[in-house]
Amino acid sequence: MTEIELTKLEAAAARLVTSITGDEAEAVVGLSRWMIEQAGEFMKLAEALPKTETRLAATRRVVSPPDKAEDPYNAIVRWVEVLADPNEVTSKLLAGKRVALKDVIAVAGLPLTAASGHLIDFVPEHDSIVAERILRAGGRVVAFTNMEGMAFGSGGESGIYGATHNPVDPSRSTSGSSGGSAAALYYDGIDIAFGTDQGGSIRTPAGWCGVIGLKPSHGLVPYTGILSHDPTIDHVGPMARTVREVALALEAVAGWTAGDPRQAAIAEEEIGGYVEAVDNAPDRLEGLRLGVLAEAQLNDGNPERQAVLESFAVFRDRLVALGAEVVDVSIPSHAVAGPIMFAIMLEGIAATVMGHGQAYHWSGSHSPATRRAFGEGMLARGAELPPAYKAAAIAGEYLRVEELGTVYSTAQNVATTLRGQYDTALESVDAVVMPTTPGIPMLLSPQASLFDQQLRSFTMASTLGSDTPAHNLTGHPALSIPVGQAMGLPCGAMLVGARLSEAVLLSTARTWEKRFGWFPEVPGTR
């Protein structure tokens, strides 16, 4: 611990909007110093205490940075080779599968930057639970993927590695923040990719790139060892070109583990059966009742929006042709899910930055090394935070101080109402369906002003057609599948189910896949 200077204690008091004055000053200073010294004594004792974290025995190395020839879409930030020792492998679920991870998912001994300059020197000491489970299932981690800076935004242009290009039309965006994970699936050397999703960051790139992306139920997949925005909306999930590969990946990584408070609700739940559900998917959808969400059909007359809705109408008709019963449902609060999500995310991000990359007030697995790296990175290069993320943190801290936390707490209350409305709707249907995104992939804008470039990226927070944020707020599973095209570009549809109903969603998607395939078509996958 550093010397306990009076000026630093006074500064700490000022940040808490209090002061060290009057008759109590001597006692408060003395008590504060004594308490800090006790913390210092604990840190000395902690060095001798047994450590609970282990490091999986594995080959771990950076192979090379990508070059243009092997990474034409700028989807990769580093090629790696991570493979568990045979004695550490406990299943063959992912045997032979080559897996890419978004550059926020920790693998011990390899760099993790979150596409932000302030984390450029960070090398995690421990594996994320997701990485460990991939390796134990026989998977091979081969790449870390490009992303929005600090996983904030949906334009695909804000990270330090530059924009990721859409494989269907490289002049256009993949969306974000997991855009690199979606685009990397077009490379022969990658079978499965993982992204994170705090407002649509798996599903919007999946929709725009023509791949499959699953945001699982909140807490189904452990988030331990992954950089967070706010624990109440954090999700991590798989992306792939076939439903079976998504199911394999989910089977490998889902399930409870000690140390992640996001998982409290699944500790006693029976989970799994995703591969079996896909392998046994029927050829038709008789007996399945699907609800088309009225609030996702809003049309402002924009030609792109019109094209998306026309593509979705074809999807709806084909569901009926497959034998599904399709009805209309209404979830009124869905229409304002984007603003609700934004209100939570701003103060959530500010609190995470103030907590040096992790939240307070929960027990479980914390990473002191991550916290130190985040904090030291802020002290040395805090100005290098991605502009949109920096603005969000500043706005969140402003709201915390000026509005006394009432914006965040009000938004969380409204999210509870939205969750209840979804639960009610899902009592009468097996899944709710809607377009994944309100429009087609954006043209990349390298010449646009920083303000305009960043502002337009927040399509997820627009009031009209912002369909993905709702399910981060409610925690329901949401699967984006590439069912058609709008103006010649991929167009996704989302299936949203009851909590922990991933098997139902994947089975439904497989039935569609067997009959219609995907756009763009993937050879040999029907």
Catalytic-role residue among 128, 201, 217, 507: 201
Q: Both ends of the chain: CA-CA distance in Å?
A: 61
Question: Count of residues for the chain?
Answer: 526
DSSP result, 85-131? -GGG----TTTT-EEEEETTB--TTS---TT-GGGTT---SS--HHH
Residue 291, beta-bridge partner list:
327, 432
Report d(CA 224, CA 128) in Å as an integer.
Answer: 6
Edge to edge, the sheet with strand 236-240 lists 58-64, 76-84, 140-145, 98-102, 192-196, 236-240, 212-215, 478-486, 489-496, 431-435, 289-293, 325-329
Catalytic residue flag (residue 44): no
Name the DSSP letter for residue 226: B
Report d(CA 401, CA 290) in Å as an integer.
Answer: 44
* CA 380 to chain centroid: 27
Catalytic residue flag (residue 201): yes
Catalytic-role residue among 116, 128, 177, 333: 177
Report d(CA 46, CA 173) in Å as an integer.
Answer: 47
* CA 361 to chain centroid: 22
Judge whether 106 and 124 are in contact, CB under 8 Å.
yes
Judge whether 251 and 218 are in contact, CB under 8 Å.
no
Catalytic residue flag (residue 175): no
Which residues have a Cβ under 8 Å from the Cβ of 146 and sit 6 or more positions away?
74, 75, 76, 77, 103, 115, 159, 161, 162, 164, 179, 180, 183
Q: To which residue do tokens 């869905």 refer?
A: 334
**Quick one: CA dihedral 123, 126, 130, 131, positive or negative?**
positive
Residue 165, beta-bridge partner list:
173
Which residues have a Cβ under 8 Å from the Cβ of 505 and sit 6 or more positions away?
214, 431, 477, 479, 495, 496, 497
Report d(CA 220, CA 237) in Å as an integer.
Answer: 9
3-state DSSP assignment of residue 503: helix
Catalytic-role residue among 102, 154, 367, 466: 102
Which sequence positions are flagged as catalytic?
102, 177, 201
